[in-house]
Amino acid sequence: MASRRSENISEMSNFEIIKEMEDLLKKYNRKTDKAIYKKSIVKLLQSAEVILAADVDFKKAQSDGEFLEKVILKTDVVKDSERKRMLPIFTSFDQIPDDYAEHFSLIRVQSRVCYNLMNERDDIDGLVINPFTKSMPLIKKVDDNPIRKTEVKAEIDDFVLVHNGERYVVNKWPFTIGRVGTDIEINESYISKIHTILVYKDGKYIIADNESTNGTKVNGILLKPKVPVVLHSGYKILIADEEEFEVYINE
């Protein structure tokens, strides 16, 4: 397991997060029980700054004082062994071959930027961390039912939760998160049976802690049991100080 599991990730520097991720990636690629390491890596990734390879197109760029607007980033795409199209991200410059780096601008970004790119583009099937060394893929959550695919596509930008690299399109209310019998099930002892409830009311998306044992936080603030809080895009939900969800809303 991770050597710093007991520490709060928010108190770690990006250097420490990246070092921890790279150590875990080595274990992930050596071990057969990959799920244990994948969960820890994804949790670290959500707080990390990573490196994105892209062509920068300045053709339509406009200057606004010190800033440039309408600069277009054309990100690279690599294919895995199953021919899936993956957005490559890198934990450090050491993971990028010199001949590859020569063809791109290398940009350090928050990992959520990469999640957003993956979610917004239909031609990308997922993310892959360090594709040229010891890599780890994070595939988009796919619905194999063609009827539901059409339904989800129509509502995909309304309300989405991202957890451990997977996207959950919320299109029913109330929506529950808990240990068993809920819309999102997390089978861990620290999760209450019905831990958190989300509802849509009067044009607002609302969350409430369902008197859970270990609590629910929104943007670091502990919710009072049964007291509703309005959610906005970009908010982070932390359940039992362990399971983080990022909120995406078409507002």
Q: Does one domain contain both 108 and 19?
A: yes
52 lies in some domain? yes
d(CA 157, CA 154): 8
pLDDT-derived band at 100 (thresholds 50, 70, 90) equals: confident
Q: Does one domain contain both 134 and 22?
A: yes
Q: Does one domain contain both 134 and 153?
A: no
Going by C-alpha positions, the residue among 230, 224, 198, 222 that lies closest to residue 211 is 224
Residue 88 pLDDT exceeds 50: yes
| Residue 156 domain boundaries | 146-249
Residue 151 pLDDT exceeds 70: no
Predicted pLDDT of residue 4? 45
Q: Does one domain contain both 24 and 116?
A: yes
For the chain, percent of residues with pLDDT exceeding 90: 25
Predicted pLDDT of residue 7? 55
Distance between first and last Cα of the chain: 39
Predicted pLDDT of residue 190? 95
Q: Does one domain contain both 113 and 15?
A: yes
Q: Does one domain contain both 122 and 158?
A: no
Predicted pLDDT of residue 2? 43
Lowest-confidence region among 18-27, 101-110, 143-152? 143-152
In order of 11, 52, 188, 245, the CA distances from 191 in angstroms are 23, 34, 6, 14
Predicted pLDDT of residue 69? 57
Which CATH number fits the domain that encloses residue 191? 2.60.200.20
**pLDDT tens digits, 21-67:** 888 888 888 776 777 788 888 888 888 899 988 876 666 555 565 55
CB 132 within 8 A of CB 95: yes
Top-ranked range on mean pLDDT: pick from 37-41, 120-124, 138-142, 198-202: 198-202
- The chain-wide mean pLDDT, for the chain, equals 79
Among 139, 169, 189, the domain boundary falls at 139
Going by C-alpha positions, the residue among 40, 50, 43 that lies closest to residue 18 is 50
Stronger pLDDT, 132 or 134, i.e. the higher one: 132
Looking only at Cα atoms, what is the longest distance across the chain? 56
**pLDDT tens digits, 163-188:** 888 888 888 889 999 999 899 999 99
Among 123, 139, 155, the domain boundary falls at 139
pTM higher than the cut 0.85: no
Residue 155 pLDDT exceeds 80: no
Q: Does one domain contain both 57 and 22?
A: yes
Predicted pLDDT of residue 71? 54
